[in-house]
Amino acid sequence: MTSGRGRVDVDLSGKVALVTGGSRGLGKEMVQALAAAGADVVISSRHQEACDELAATVREQTGRTALAVAAHAGRWDDVDRLVDAVYGQLGGVDILVNNAGMAPLYPRLSACSEELFDKTIAVNLKGPFRLGALIGERMVDGDGGSIINISSIGATHPTMTDLPYAAAKAGLNTLTVGFAVAFGPTVRSNGIMVGPFLTDISKAWDVPSFQDHARRRFPLQRLGEPSEIVGTALYLASNASSFTTGCVLTVDGGVSVSSPFMSKSG
């Protein structure tokens, strides 16, 4: 919402925001920020208990409606059921955040199984396509809305150890532009390509070594804190970005311009 010349306030009152992969990590941060900005939220992930727990916290801290719906983002039927549940209980979606993802690693390309490849593509690309298609069309028939796809710098800087994931995220960037074309002018579609954040997934990293590498190689010389996704997400969710669509913003601390890092570990 624009408030006076040159001033922008992020007010999402009266909006409904759906976040997949919303019970932890960057998804959890975005859920809490969207609710704090006034939106009612739908938290979806594979685990109902985790969704319920965060929903209770959101209701207590913000007073907003928080609906918890367990669904597997890579399964077509689950996505359809999720949409039916949200529209049935809350009447619509104004902000869709396709955040759910998986990035399994393997020792060499030939060791990536067909099952692992299919799961990676399903969660990172097939699910966002189906969810964006269903909700985007309903947004067009209603009052419009904003679609935000959470991508990765792997989409433009793939490595040997995460190639199916990188390919899926590159496809997600293409979906971002395609949704903008398909659903404009009332629906905006944008993406965020994220770099290394200290979320739950970082527990599998050698964090001290990674932090030391960041100090020597990254322009901002550190890894990202989960809360640092919030500003970009709120910008794209709100009318602050009313003239922005088909755009993929990079939030990575400068990692993607750090060629010595990218050439070694992606």
Q: Is residue 152 flagged as an active site residue?
A: yes
Which residues, 6 or more positions from 187, have their beta carbon under 8 angstroms from its beta carbon? 136, 139, 140, 144, 145, 146, 147, 179, 180
Compute φ and ψ for 186, nearest 5 degrees. Answer: -90, -15
Task: Please tell me which residue in 15, 165, 189, 235 is annotated as part of the active site.
Answer: 165
Start-to-end Cα distance in the chain: 38
Sheet with 247-251: list strands edge to edge. Answer: 66-70, 40-45, 16-20, 95-98, 145-152, 187-194, 247-251
Beta bridge partners of residue 34, listed in sequence order: none
Task: Please tell me which residue in 169, 235, 241, 258 is annotated as part of the active site.
Answer: 169
Helix, strand, coil distribution of the chain in percent, nearest 5:
55, 15, 30
- How many CB atoms lie under 10 A from the CB of residue 143? 11
Q: Which two tokens stand for residue 38?
A: 């006034």
Task: Please tell me which residue in 23, 44, 152, 256 is annotated as part of the active site.
Answer: 152
Structure-token match 């976040």, residue found: 19
Region class of 92: left (phi > 0), else alpha (psi between -120 and 50), else beta: left
Catalytic (active-site) positions: 152, 165, 169
